[in-house]
Chains A and B, each alone.
Chain A
Amino acid sequence: MGRSDLITGNVWEQYSNKVIERMNNPKYLGEFSEEDAKKRGAKLVVADFGSEACGDSVRLYWLIDPKTDKIIDARFKSFGCGTAIASSDMMTELTIGKTVDEATKITNLDVEKALRDEPDKPAFPPQKMHCSVMAYDVILEAAAKYEGKDVKELKNSEIVCECARVTRGEIEQIVREHNVKTIEELQKYTDAGTYCKSCVAPGGHEERDVYLVDIIKEVQEEMQKEKLNEANETEDFEKLSFIKKIKAIEEFLDKKIKPMLAMDGGSLELVDVRENGENINVYVRYLGACSMCASSQVTLQAIEEELKKHFKTEKIKLLQI
């Protein structure tokens, strides 16, 4: 919240001049017929996409050169508001000159960005992003028709935010890397969920199979589980691989033993760890005050006890070099 949120209803004044211009005079409005296609030696593809949730839909017409798969011309028809018309117009323009395969890479965000007057200022307010920008879906429908495939084959099912086209994998990675716990934290690292917001949580503009809040929760739970597993591994020292045993011992010496010795001006270093039958021999060298200490042998025994206690095993032997 804050000052800008206190004034509601501002939609139209946030439209870029390009949006306004294309709403008032769409450049690629129209249709192609089979005759048009024949005249230009092209294949006609007509595809629809409509979002029932908000009553917008778009129809895309492509003339494709069958030799090169290149879209030589395109038109659209739209049922929708001003932004739907303007963004359909821009989307249509962006597909012209591309191959069908290249066109499928166009994102809703690409269309929105192309409609900006200034690179850093959105072309329209975020709530319009979902309803009005249907580029990704209708292009996929058209491409599927041309290639004779099911649209599901082309669709990346992993996409969770259709506006910014962010995949589940990307979200999971961000959550892991930055230990993200909330949507606000997540959105420091990604545009996902900042446009139409449908993918953030249930109850938004449109129903989704998976929501960002669920992904954060699931990944956090996984991370918790992994942490627990690590802890379990520590408890089950004897089952650890040899290298992990060495690492665990070294970590324990660094974190627990050295600070204690340091209080008396001493230290030790880990020289070697060797498997001796069932036993683990740990070789250390005293440093500093310890090397001259009269009670160093007693200390060695005490450290061994600490090791045995921490790793819950009797099989560790501590040896001084």
Chain B
Amino acid sequence: MVYLDNNSTTPLDEEVKKIYCESNKYFGNINVIYDLGIEARKKLNEAYDILYPGIGANDEDDIIITSSTTEGNNTVIKTFLNEFIKGNGKKHIITTIAEHSSIKAPCAYAKTFGMEVTYLRSDENGRVNPKDVENAIREDTALISVLFASNESGAIQPIKKISEIAKKYNIPFHCDGAQAIGKVKVNVRDLGVDYFTFSAHKFHGPKGIGGLYVRKGAPFINLIHGGNQMGGKRGGSIYLNGIIAMAEALKKANENLDYMNTEIMRLRDKLEDAILKIPDTKTYVDKKYRLPNSLIASFKGIEGEAMLWDLNIHKIYAATGSSCSSERLEGSEVLESLGEDPEIAHTGIIFSLSRFTTEKEIDYVIEVLPKIVKRLRDISLTYAKVKPK
């Protein structure tokens, strides 16, 4: 098996898994005053000792533990929806077409209450122009939300520049960081964001656990009301072994950043070079703006799902932005915006590596790909010789 869909989710790191399982013994409720609570709180504190510096947060800021980036994103958007409903008059959200549905769907929901959303388009490198952000700002802009990098195109957004603009106009700024950790160094204070969301399963941690960074003083309204956990900001019993495992995963992700940006990037480049040797292929997004593990390629004449099918037969797992991809039936705006060639939305294949990807695996893909391309192009109408009159 060659797993190259790491922007979607990653396998659990074996050492993280061990800690995750062992930490199940700290089952005591974190709120109780007796010894089991004391022990659990100690463990939570130790996890925070890793999480805070791990993303560059100050102790006066909050890192609210959530179930996922999706929950964090919802919390942020709905904070501003709630403020609007209460009558603060700020009805406008600026975001981008490249966002994940966990931003787009709550935005669409906010619109049903009368909020307005501007979706900025990205350029041929998949990047939003900070000037466009500035031009979109209005008197009643409540929030700017831009993702750190796209899971589809791998394009890294100019977050720091956008945060400077947000600061200039005194508008809260959220960054969906699902694709950031483990691929690039994240320092939320340096980035200047007010909110930053992430999920552990994107960096070899467990699923069902994530974080929402809230800079000191930024508006916040609970998404989940309940007990006094997380300072009363997110109800629900603390998922302690999940948090401990996430902290460990973050530590290891940060330790491996150099490896990711040298060795894994080299493997990515090797695969990319091999793909480009196949006739009528293209890759997108300038490498200097792209995540070190990501590669998006189009294979002329081969519909994305058909490509996934044949890759699957060879036990190679990748992703598609294609209209017929398994979960989405409409074409991908993100991919369409990448180039002059509208075919990309139907022929784009996304390969995303992880620090566990090996050279042997990449060599196997390089060996198999030309055969797959040949078989599918034999079927393809694009390559047919006899045409209708």
Contact = CB atoms under 8 A, between A and B. Distances in A.
A154 interface: no
Contacts of B304: 81
A189 interface: no
B326 A12 contact: yes
Given A56-B303, A82-B305, A29 B379 contact: yes
Contact of A82 (B306, B323, B343): B306
Contact of A47 (B329, B378, B388): B388
Nearest to A89: B379
Contacts of B345: 55
Contacts of A81: 303-306, 309, 322, 324
B381 A57 contact: yes
B72 interface: no
Given A29-B378, A47-B388, A11 B326 contact: yes
B386 interface: yes
Q: Which of B312, B323, B324, B345 has the most CB of A within 10 A?
A: B324
B378 A80 contact: no
24 contacts: A9-B327, A11-B326, A23-B306, A29-B378, A29-B379, A33-B386, A46-B387, A46-B388, A54-B331, A55-B303, A57-B381, A58-B381, A59-B381, A59-B388, A77-B384, A78-B380, A78-B381, A79-B301, A81-B309, A81-B324, A84-B303, A131-B324, A132-B324, A205-B329
B346 interface: yes
Interface residues of B, number: 32
B288 interface: no
Nearest to B304: A81
A127 B324 CA distance: 10
A133 B345 CA distance: 20
B303 A79 contact: yes
B168 interface: no
Interface residues of A, number: 36
Given A55-B346, A78-B381, A145 B388 contact: yes
A29 B312 CA distance: 22
A47 B389 CA distance: 8
Interface of A: 8-9, 11-12, 23-24, 26, 29, 31-33, 46-48, 53-59, 61, 77-82, 84-85, 127-128, 131-132, 145, 205
A80 B324 CA distance: 8
B349 to A, nearest CB: 13
Interface in B350-389: 378-389
A160 to B, nearest CB: 20
A78 B380 CA distance: 5
Contact of A23 (B309, B343, B346, B388): B309
Contact of B386 (A9, A46, A53): A46
Interface string B20-36: 00000000000000000
Nearest to A131: B324
Contacts of B327: 8-9
A59 to B, nearest CB: 5
Contacts of A131: 323-324, 329
Given A54-B329, A80-B303, A81-B305, A31 B346 contact: no
A46 B384 CA distance: 11
B326 A32 contact: no
B1 interface: no
Given A55-B345, A81-B303, 20 more contacts: A11-B326, A24-B313, A29-B379, A32-B386, A33-B386, A46-B386, A48-B388, A54-B324, A54-B329, A55-B322, A55-B331, A57-B381, A59-B388, A77-B381, A79-B302, A82-B309, A84-B306, A131-B323, A131-B329, A205-B330
A59 B303 contact: no
Nearest to B378: A29
Interface in B315-355: 322-324, 326-327, 329-331, 343, 345-346
A48 B387 CA distance: 9
A164 B345 CA distance: 28
B306 A80 contact: yes
Contacts of B378: 29
Contacts of A127: 329
Contacts of B387: 46, 59
Contacts of A61: 386
A224 to B, nearest CB: 31
Contacts of A57: 381
Contacts of A33: 385-386
A59 B306 CA distance: 17
B243 to A, nearest CB: 27
B313 A77 contact: no
A9 B309 CA distance: 15
A314 to B, nearest CB: 60
Sort A-B residue pairs by CB-CB distance and give the 6 closest, nearest first. Answer: A55-B346, A81-B305, A77-B381, A77-B384, A81-B324, A46-B388
Contacts of B324: 54-56, 80-81, 84, 128, 131-132
Best-surrounded residue of A8, A9, A56, A79 (most CB of chain B within 10 A): A79
B324 to A, nearest CB: 4
| Max count, chain B CB within 10 A of own CB: residue among A46, A82, A205 | A82
